[in-house]
Each structure stands twice: as structure tokens, then as C-alpha cells.
Amino acid sequence: MNQSLERLIALQRLDTAADVARRTLASEPERDAALAARLAAAEQNVAAAKARLADSQNARRAIEKDVAVHQGRLSKFRDQAMEVKTNQEYHAVQKEIGFAQSEIKALEDRILEHMIEADELTAALKKAEADLAADKKTIEADRRALAAEHSELGASIERMAKERAELVSGIDPGLMLIFDQVARKRHGVAVAEARDGICTICHVRLRPQVFNTVMRNEEILQCDSCQRILYFVPKTAAAATGGVS
């Protein structure tokens, strides 16, 4: 293979890897924000579960106060029943006693409902708290991994910058000018594999004569459509590298 072409291919692979690393670094604030949002949602679930339980308990206490009021009235009516002198007064007091008892019964039924509800809400709160504890551990691990990745990517980008400088020093300045111009216009991709007579990036079919020349990998040729520098990977080489261009 033409030595300059080989270096341009290596340079493209290096630039692509460096671009991926830089984009991954750039996405870190978004990824960290997603972790923070996940933690906030889990904390909100716990807060909401606590609020529902507190509301249920407050409602139950309010009903218990109403029960106490009706029990006081019931006690008063029973005392009055001991002092009445006529049947009419007796029946009136008994009516009040019956009403107070029915009210107490209805309120006690509602208290029982709240007690059952409190058991369910307590279980839901425990689950939310367990989920929060698990999420915290996972998120802490993810953040440690993110920090480690940040360090590794930074070192990798620095290493690739040095490798790039070494590669560029061995490439003809004229070829580098072409490479840089095409890369700026084509989203950082200045070199493309030609396969089956087609540029694999822009998917435009090459002229047979051009493709035949590209297959020899002896000259610097550009795609007539996208202007990318073309190269060819023989089938044996493609199989050995897993088909990576």
C-alpha cells in the first residue's frame, strides 16, 4: 500500500476515535444530570409516600377526636337517662343515645379503614425507601464509573493528539491540506473505503477505471462525489480485521 495512503487511513481512524472520545466527554454533564434526576425522582417517591401516610394518620386522629366528642355526648345522655321523670323524656334521651352510638360506630369503621390503609401505606413507604437506598448505591457506582471514564478519556485524547502529531509529521503537507479541507466539509471524515465499486460513505458508484485503480492502493484518489480519499480492503485483509474499514 502507498505509504502516504496508509498514514492517511491511520490518521482518519485516529481522528474518528478522538472525536468519539470528545463527544463522550461532552455528554457527561447530560449523563450526570440524568443520574441526578433519577435520584431526585426516587427521593420524591419517598417524600410522597411519607406524605400519604401522614395524611392518613392525621385523618385518623381527626376521626378519633370526633369519636371522643360523641362518646362524651353519649355519656352525658346516659346520665340524663337516669334522671328523666317521664316516658317522653326517656324516649327522647334514648333517641339521642342511639344516634350517638350509630355515629360512633360509623366513625370507628372509618378508623378501621384508615388503620388498614396505614398498613398498606407503611409497606409502600418501606418499599420506596428500599428503592431509594438501592438507587443511591447504583447512582454512586455510576458516578464513580463516570469519573473514571472522564479520566481515561482525557488521557486517551491526550495520547491520540500526540500520535496524530507524529502521523501528520510524516504526511506530505499537500495531502494534509486535502485531508483537512475534506474533513471540514464532511463531518470529520476525509477517508473512505471503496467496496464493490461504491464509496461506502456517500454510496455513489465509482467509475470502473477509478475503482480498479483504487483497488491497487498505490495512488491517492478521491471520490468524484464526496471528495473523500479512497482506499480498498482486500477480502483476506477484511476477514482478518473483522471487516473494519
Q: What is the pLDDT of residue 245?
A: 43
Q: Compute the distance between CA of residue 197 and CA of residue 80 in angstroms, rounded to an integer.
A: 109
Is residue 83 a part of any domain in this protein?
Answer: yes
Question: Considering 169, 186, 221, which residue would you say is the last residue of a domain?
Answer: 169
For residues 228 and 207, membership in a common domain is answered with yes
pTM reported for the whole predicted model: 0.71
For residues 197 and 112, membership in a common domain is answered with no
Question: Considering 148, 169, 190, which residue would you say is the last residue of a domain?
Answer: 169
For residues 180 and 165, membership in a common domain is answered with no
Helices (DSSP H) in the chain: which residue ranges? 3-26, 28-81, 87-169, 173-185, 208-216, 235-240
Q: Phi and psi (nearest 5°) for 22? A: -65, -40
Is residue 214 a part of any domain in this protein?
Answer: yes
For residues 139 and 179, membership in a common domain is answered with no
Is residue 16 a part of any domain in this protein?
Answer: no
pLDDT < 70 positions in the chain: 237-245
State how many domains the chain has: 2
Enumerate the β-bridge partners of residue 198. Answer: 195, 205
Is residue 195 a part of any domain in this protein?
Answer: yes
Is residue 35 a part of any domain in this protein?
Answer: yes
For residues 163 and 103, membership in a common domain is answered with yes
For residues 111 and 186, membership in a common domain is answered with no
For residues 66 and 103, membership in a common domain is answered with yes
For residues 36 and 101, membership in a common domain is answered with yes
Is residue 7 a part of any domain in this protein?
Answer: no
What is residue 229's three-state secondary structure?
A: strand
Is residue 11 a part of any domain in this protein?
Answer: no
**Contact yes or no for 201/226 (Cβ under 8 A):** yes
For residues 51 and 147, membership in a common domain is answered with yes
What is residue 192's three-state secondary structure?
A: strand
Q: What is the pLDDT of residue 87?
A: 86
For residues 51 and 122, membership in a common domain is answered with yes
Question: Considering 133, 152, 169, which residue would you say is the last residue of a domain?
Answer: 169
CATH code of the domain covering residue 83 = 1.10.287.1700
For residues 69 and 128, membership in a common domain is answered with yes
Owning domain of residue 221:
172-240
Q: What is the pLDDT of residue 144?
A: 97
Is residue 224 a part of any domain in this protein?
Answer: yes
For residues 160 and 66, membership in a common domain is answered with yes
